[in-house]
Structure 1
């Protein structure tokens, strides 16, 4: 067994993929000095032509990445702040995402949009704390949310190799975490869920850092219920078969999702369950509130995030 840090896994995936495929390049602000540690050592190893420090214009370098991808490169674009994605949503959703469809598959746009540190950053306030993965899934962009170091490595590999645009959200709450791994790591297929813990009484579908919350709650409630924890890993496309099989086995479903309640991923899981799953109890969701804007005060920041107490209450509600 070896200890693998989440941030190291992302960095190692970029090193390995750039060594394997000379079409892979990295664009972003301060990527040559590896400010976020995701691009650490890439410039020294691969040089100016493949690791490009960009001006402070996200719209410009996102469009540059689209053109580079259309010309045969495989750009990885790093955004230091998740809210910057709002500035470039047009370039991603209306341009890069649609080129392949609008050209009948003649043009591929293999760009990876990497956000190392998405979600609440513990006191960095509203414009730095969004977690907008549901927005990208809504328009049909392949969207991944790794919960562990090994999945961060494997999903980033698959994202870079994919022929379409892929958004990779790395939760800020996980950047300092470490996972014990064994064996050689490899790509993790997009659209493949992971069952972290098996159970018989309740299925908890958890995303990102909420996976670890769910596992802790499942352990703490072991005397009350046998809880299965399912991590979708890919927000779009969703592995509905794995989620359905788990939920119909237990008959009870709870979703914990660190996104705003309205039109969030958690709501999509509950809607699909209501339409298609055979459950014995009404499903529940634990999310941020509607329209949540994270405040500067740390105690208020934490109060708006889904937590273990809320999840415990939701599990007990579906068990009644």
Structure 2
């Protein structure tokens, strides 16, 4: 099977979904140019009507995306860095997340928000934050965090086809990572985690980039006779509680690894789940 990079997986998913559904379009800062390579070449195939460069106003183009979703389109909104979500908090949390409830279930809001997150190099404080935990408490939002090219492509396609707002967080440190990815059509279901490595002594629940680091650590510990099971939630909302709890029930020891904030973070939420139900 061929191998492609994380960024190539994003590009393929976008291209395939744009071809599949004429109601789908992409909008964001410099998406025509493709700053990180994820949207490179799309404007050549689909034109500037469907690959729409936006001004530097996240509130403006996120709001336009929500309106387009209400009107029957299927927008993909690129927020260039996760920290920039603060600029469109109202549009995401107060509009997109609530409109299905406010319409009594009559309105679909099929919008996908893509963003880059995480610390890498010299991106500084306003381009390195991990903010997904702040959205976990907002009813109406789904949150996916792919840890490799295979999951990236399958989850992004599922997100675009979902009739609810989905936030897709892409770690900038994974861009060049490669993995076997089928050429034929496939989807990774939202809300289903994965056991990335079987083990019996301890469970490591890892999120995003931390999955590859956990797998590396597990391989090293194997030399010392320690068998580590690595669980990747893949989706934070809805969270696959069953996969996590089944692993913890088997090993009776658990470590949760996340790059996000300690207080009120995703790791804290998963730890609370295990303490409550494990």
Match of 1:295 in 2: none
Deviation at 1:180, TM superposition (A): 2.6
Q: Distance in 2 between matches of 1:244 and 1:104?
A: 34
Q: Distance in 2 between matches of 1:181 and 1:195?
A: 18
Q: Distance in 2 between matches of 1:134 and 1:187?
A: 24
The CA RMSD measured in Å over matched residues stands at 1.1
Q: How many residues align?
A: 276
TM-score normalised by length of structure 1: 0.84
Partner of 2:14: helix, strand, or coil?
helix
Q: Distance in 2 between matches of 1:37 and 1:202?
A: 38
Report whether the alignment pairs 1:11 with 2:11.
Answer: yes
Match of 2:120 in 1: 121
Match of 1:136 in 2: 135
Match of 2:237 in 1: 236
Q: Distance in 2 between matches of 1:52 and 1:94?
A: 24
Q: Per-residue CA shift, 1:186-241, capped at 9, x if unaligned?
A: 11110000111000111100000100110011010012311100000001110000
Match of 1:215 in 2: 215
Deviation at 1:121, TM superposition (A): 2.4
Q: Per-residue CA shift, 1:225-274, capped at 9, x if unaligned?
A: 11100000001110000101011011111100110100001001111111
Q: Distance in 2 between matches of 1:217 and 1:164?
A: 36
Deviation at 1:2, TM superposition (A): 1.1
Match of 2:56 in 1: 56
Q: Per-residue CA shift, 1:90-141, capped at 9, x if unaligned?
A: 11001111000111111111110001x3111212211111010111112132
Structure 1 residues 136 and 179: alpha-carbon distance in aligned structure 2, compared to 1, 3 A threshold: same
Q: How does 1:90-109 map to 2 (within 5 A)?
A: 90-109=90-109
Match of 1:21 in 2: 21
Larger Rg, first or second structure (1 or 2): 1
Q: Per-residue CA shift, 1:74-105, capped at 9, x if unaligned?
A: 00011112110011111100111100011111
Deviation at 1:183, TM superposition (A): 6.2
Q: Distance in 2 between matches of 1:217 and 1:177?
A: 17
Q: Distance in 2 between matches of 1:182 and 1:155?
A: 14
TM-score normalised by length of structure 2: 0.97
Deviation at 1:182, TM superposition (A): 4.9
Q: Return 5+ residue gaps in structure 2 as ranges.
A: none
Q: Per-residue CA shift, 1:257-312, capped at 9, x if unaligned?
A: 110100001001111111111xxxxxxxxxxxxxxxxxxxxxxxxxxxxxxxxxxx
Q: Return 5+ residue gaps in structure 1 as ranges.
A: 278-320
On the 8 A contact 1:150/1:185 being kept in 2, the answer is no
Q: Distance in 2 between matches of 1:63 and 1:181?
A: 34
